[in-house]
Structure 1
Amino acid sequence: MSGKYESGRILTLDAVSAEHGVSRSVAREAVRVLESMGMVASRRRVGITVQPAESWNVFDPVVIRWRLEVGDRKAQLVSLSELRVGFEPAAAALAARRASPHQCRVMAAAVSDMMVHGRSGDLAAYLLADRLFHQTLLEASGNEMFRALNGVVAELLTGRTHHGMMPEKPNITAIALHDEVARAIRMGEHEQAERGMRAIIEESASAIVEEVPPTTTSPKTTTSLKTTTSPKTTTSPKSPAAEEH
């Protein structure tokens, strides 16, 4: 991704190990991880071939994170927002039909936390509440395919915050829309839940288009062999059992 290794370049495990000052076993594990992301292809008697961007697993949360760090950030965020339009409104509509009382309480509590942290400007705490809201909504849809896309949404929300694309205090309109969706799901109003989620995404996308400056690094069909340990699955923070009102 950084442009150090051009698409089509062939490397050897020994060369990778020597260049990065790591053991062959560490280099082999790094190649294995990158291969699982579609970023390199490894074959006996051929070597390690750097793959073009078209081959990357763009749904992998780590790939999303790296692209936000070194690629055309604005284009990546717009692309992710367009993807969200395709599934989150439908997930919200399903959640209005299938959400459990506990899931409804978790979403309501997440919105309350967003309000509190939004007023105080605690973006880190706001992000946790925002991620919990969307994770719970996707789980409440009862569709395992939608649930599997939680990593995509989480990386979008996280990247927007970590790269300074959020205002000092989150938009009160965005918080109100989350509250509207939570209420619609609790009341079983699937059409309202779908409309509200679409409005959330459109509000977020418009802020990206207006506020994100272009990055200096242009997207390239290149990759880097630098990798990190894949993130472990963590348990979402438990939300207080907020009373419905």
Structure 2
Amino acid sequence: MTKTTAPSMAESLTRDLAIRIMRGDLSQVPSLPGENELALQYQVSRTTIRNALQVLSAKGMVSIQPKRRSVVTPREHWNFLDSEVLLWLTEGGMEQEMVEQLIVTRLIFEPNVAALAATNATGRDLAAMEDACHLMSDGQQQNSRELFERGDLAFHLALLRASHNPFLLSLSNALSSAMSLSFKQTLEDDVRLTKEAVTQHVVLLDAIRLKQVDTAKQRMRDILLKAARKRLQSHQPEIFTHID
């Protein structure tokens, strides 16, 4: 059995401050409370507060200024490809605008990855994607959200590896976190209703296997737009139609 390590006080503090910032609790004021005030509020040392602020600063969420109170930076400065930032975003609750921007990012990126995979995929790549489809199917039949998400992520990571592009592969860790966040936003509550999604991934795999580049690109786009409709319901931003 794998042992999980409980988060340290500093980690818990950093997470709490990050979520408060994301929810707007701390971003509506000119500056953050001072180190002494935060230390009293959280019942920790100033060193712990300072370390937490430095972590948030490294992720672009806070600006630390000598002899002045730290301030929350504009959202466009946050590192949204950081796995912890994405995790905190999930825990803090994603507003619809952020979900739209996440899907826009995937629409720009993943159809073209599918096209590359259709050109470059090896037998091993195809086998990895097929295994992932089986995992998704098992999750759908067993109504297991964890199993379905694991298969879904495995499929998209296998697709990324099938591009055989070293620059894209270097982004895999950050992109896997973003994709995992996207899955959590668009997956049905009842996983048994995901049979169509499984079928769509199998159809995409067939296009890649047959080296049908344009078809693979379109099938991936269809998967992403279908997922977007689940989360955004009848509203589909116009920008989606302009991304090819």
Scaled to the shorter chain, the TM-score interval is 0.7 to 0.9
Equivalent of residue 167 in structure 1, options 190, 194, 197: 190
Counterpart check, 1:4 vs 2:30: no
Alignment root-mean-square deviation, CA:
2.3
Query: Aligned partner of 2:159: which letter?
Result: L
Alpha-carbon separation, structure 2, partners of 1:118 and 1:139: 25
2:241 matched residue in structure 1: none
Residue of 177, 187, 190 corresponding to 2:213: 190
TM-score, L = length of structure 1: 0.76
Distance 1:211 1:168, change over 3 A: farther
Deviation at residue 89 of structure 1 after TM alignment = 0.2
Find the aligned partners of 2:48 and 2:162 in 1 and give their Cα distance: 39
Q: Secondary structure at the match of 1:185?
A: helix
The verdict on how the C-alpha distance between 1:137 and 1:98 changes in structure 2, with shifts beyond 3 A counting, is same
Give the TM-score normalised by the residue count of structure 2: 0.76
Number of residue-to-residue matches in the alignment: 209
Pairing 1:1-245 to 2, within 5 Å after superposition:
1-7=22-28, 8-147=30-169, 148=171, 149-161=175-187, 165-210=188-233
Residue deviations 1:56-108, cap 9 Å, x none?
22333333333343345333222211211100000011111222322211110
Question: 1:78–1:208: 8 Å Cα contact kept in structure 2?
Answer: no
Shift of 1:19: 1.9
Change (3 A) 1:26 1:63: same
Report the AA paired with residue 26 of structure 2: Y
The farther-off stretch of 62-71 and 202-211 is: 62-71
Structure ranking higher in strand proportion? 1
Which residue of the partner structure matches residue 15 of structure 2?
none
Amino acid at match of 2:183: L
Shift of 1:121: 1.0
Deviation per CA, 1:40-63: give whole Å up to 9, x if none.
Answer: 011212231122223222333333
Q: Deviations over 1:184-213 (max 9, x none)?
A: 22232222211111110011011112289x
Aligned residue for 2:233, secondary structure, equals: helix
Per the TM alignment, residue 160 of structure 1 is displaced from its structure 2 partner at its CA by 4.1
The percentage of aligned residue pairs carrying the same residue is: 26
Once the two structures are overlaid, the 10-residue window that deviates more, 114-123 or 165-174, is 165-174
Q: CA–CA distance in 1 between the matches of 2:223 and 2:67?
A: 51
Equivalent AA in structure 1 for residue 25 of structure 2: K
CA contact (8 A) 2:138 2:147 kept: no
Aligned-residue offset at 1:137: 1.0
Shift of 1:13: 2.8
Paired residue secondary structure (1:169): helix
Q: Which amino acid aligns with 1:143?
A: N
Letter in 1 for 2:143: G
> Structure 2, unaligned stretches of length 5 or more?
1-21, 236-244
Unaligned runs of 5+ in 1: 213-245
> Could you give the per-residue CA deviations for residues 103-144 of structure 1, whole angstroms, max 9, x where no partner exists?
211110110121122122111111111111111111222234
Q: Are the aligned partners of 2:118 and 2:216 in contact in 1 as well (CA < 8 Å)?
A: yes
1:156–1:72 Cα change, 3 Å: closer
- Deviations 1:139-189, CA, capped at 9 Å, x for gaps: 22223454412221122113445xxx5434143221111011122222322
